[in-house]
Chains A and B, each alone.
Chain A
């Protein structure tokens, strides 16, 4: 079968069902600087359209305590310090993308949560718009894409509210506090999805983001994860399954230690599988491919070299392993970095065409 015999929606559905597809489903992510470089070189097209992405996000559920807030509180030549919708105070580059420096978080103590942030979040309206999701759905259907609700999961939201250090310490020392935050924010995300679903925005699936790991392993150990976070991950996956929707989970880092837990929570797919963190889709497909689909893992460090032989080998290896199980989606292992120029990106697309099709 050649690509374009199926719509993206059909292709992705069949991927989740491990049924024959015309080609691997595909999608890509890019650093903002990469897009700017492409545009500066005169390529204004959406690179995901060039690639032929099969995915369409309908919403981004972010249950901020201070929706819409972005207050500048300091500035110097290169950076700007801002209090944002989470209530975080962060320092950002003016002219560059990258991870901000975190200065303060809204929940420094449990009393901040119980007295201020929790009541605020519970009193806020849904963070997603029916109109915007409906428009995105219409576009997605027109383009034949697999349309998904998107949002942050509890571990990520909790870290946004408490900061990494406070959140990690609370997991051990104030578990009731951590669990209250986790359960509450999960309720709010599910409420967002209910808001859209009940208005007739019927997605094809759910895609949730939350970074759970560093390059050398999971941030919190499997037992603590099971106790503190897993119950809410399961609730999210259950929400999707009750509506017949598959559940795709994004996490950076090395999560090899908790893949079985993810399967137990009901995750249907794992993305983006950071190669430099030791995630290897060839091994993962062999071990879990019958129970979990995989999405990504093409190494951006190789892409950054612009070495065409190495890039081709990387894409070929991952796509061919993926095709054997029918449960694989092409994507890089994170985001295309700015060191990848337009010509190299074109070559990547060519390789995905060459090795992603089921002949």
Chain B
């Protein structure tokens, strides 16, 4: 069992194996005291966050919200809860890439994540925890297609990126303005049509001309290939929404 577990103090978080199935008030610690060893029964509530992670994987939005509320009520730190949620999205993303899960399963997982985040987000803000990276995403000018772009946006949000969705038919200048305004770490460009692919190149040129040294650019969409991405100077390409998370993380780590 590799459950995420947290102790109610919020200061102590296990990210590794612990007592399988344990969740309440029975965790005893050795306490060295006055030269002797005695058992001290700490009245600290142990919250197993694995069910929360699994509620995301299974797309159980009601459960995800309830587990999040319970963890917060038990004093689990919001960061630990967020880690459990992101672990769930990672799990479903991995299944998607292995063809063990498909778009319906991804959608309900993303929706469960959204539901949990509606409870967690205010607590994260209070604790001064904000997403580490900001991504701007949109479909390039001339293209009104949005399904793939929406899926990637959902997955990025699930991976705890702050996502600014510019919608469809986005001119290069709007991408540049949004990247500057939000100090974007990442810009995602989507296109469905072969006829709008050249607008990806124009947008990348505009972003580079604007001098945004830390901003990485990713491209995707039905006609897009790695070769085309390389040719137009994109930093990354992903063939699907789950892959877009991995590529984004790699770019951010680099």
B107 touches A304 (CB 8 A): no
Interface: A301 (CB within 8 A): yes
Q: Mark A162-177, 1 if CB is under 8 A from B, else 0.
A: 0011001101110000
Give the complex CA separation of A93 and B104 in angstroms: 29
- Given A301-B223, A339-B195: A168 and B103 interface contact (C-beta under 8 Å): yes
Which residue of chain A is the closest to B196 with respect to CB atoms?
Answer: A98
Whether A98 contacts B104 in the complex (CB less than 8 A), given A276-B223, A276-B225, A339-B195, comes out as no
Q: Are B144 and A93 in contact, CB atoms less than 8 angstroms apart?
A: yes
Contact B194 A300 (CB under 8 A): yes
Contacts of B99 in A (CB 8 A): 217, 221, 257
Q: Is A347 an interface residue, CB under 8 A from the partner?
A: no
Q: How far is the CA of A57 from the CA of B192 in the complex (A)?
A: 27
- A102 interface hit (Cβ, 8 Å): yes
Q: Please tell me if the beta carbons of B223 and A172 are within 8 angstroms of each other in the complex.
A: no
Flag if A339 contacts B107 (CB, 8 Å): no
For the complex, give the distance between the alpha carbons of A79 and B144 in Å.
Answer: 10
* Shortest distance between the CB of A289 and any CB in chain B (Å): 24
In this assembly, does A224 line the interface, its C-beta being within 8 Å of a C-beta of chain B? Answer: yes
From B107, B146, B225, B243, name the one whose CB has the most chain A CB atoms within 10 angstroms: B107
Q: Which residue of A lies closest to B97 (CB)?
A: A216
Interface size, chain A (Cβ < 8 Å): 37
CA distance A267 to B143 in the complex (A): 34
B222→A214 contact, CB < 8 A = yes
Q: Is A143 an interface residue (CB 8 A)?
A: no
Q: Is A218 in the interface zone, CB < 8 Å from B?
A: yes
From B238, which residue of chain A is reached at the shortest CB distance? A216
* B98-135 contact mask (Cβ, 8 Å, vs A): 1 or 0: 01011111011001000000000000000000000000
Min CB distance A272 to B, Å, is 14
Q: Which residues of B contact A168 (CB under 8 A)?
A: 103-104, 107
Partner of B222, one of A100, A215, A337: A215
Query: Within residues 185 to 225 of chain A, which ones have a CB less than 8 A from any CB in chain B?
Result: 214-221, 224
A96 at the interface (CB under 8 A from B): yes
CA distance in complex: A91, B145 (Å): 10
Question: Are B108 and A172 interface neighbours, CB within 8 A?
Answer: yes
A274, closest chain B residue (CB): B222
Contacts of A217 in B (CB 8 A): 99, 102, 240
Partner of B144, one of A99, A277, A338: A99
A301 touches B108 (CB 8 A): no
If A214-B240, A339-B195 touch, does A219 touch B102 (CB 8 Å cutoff)?
A: yes
Tell yes or no: A101 within 8 A of B by CB: yes
> Cβ of B194 and Cβ of A165 under 8 Å apart?
no
List of B residues within 8 angstroms of A33 by Cβ: 195
Q: Judge if B239 is at the interface, Cβ distance under 8 Å.
A: yes
Contacts of B150 in A (CB 8 A): 165
B59 on interface, CB distance cutoff 8 Å: yes
Q: Does B13 contact A (CB under 8 A)?
A: no
Q: Which of A102, A169, A220, A339 contacts B194 (CB 8 A)?
A: A339
Question: B-side interface residues toward A, CB under 8 Å?
Answer: 59, 99, 101-105, 107-108, 111, 142-148, 150, 167-169, 192-196, 222-223, 225, 239-240, 243
List 9 tightest A-B contacts by C-beta distance, closest first: A168-B104, A221-B102, A101-B144, A216-B240, A99-B145, A337-B194, A216-B239, A101-B168, A219-B103
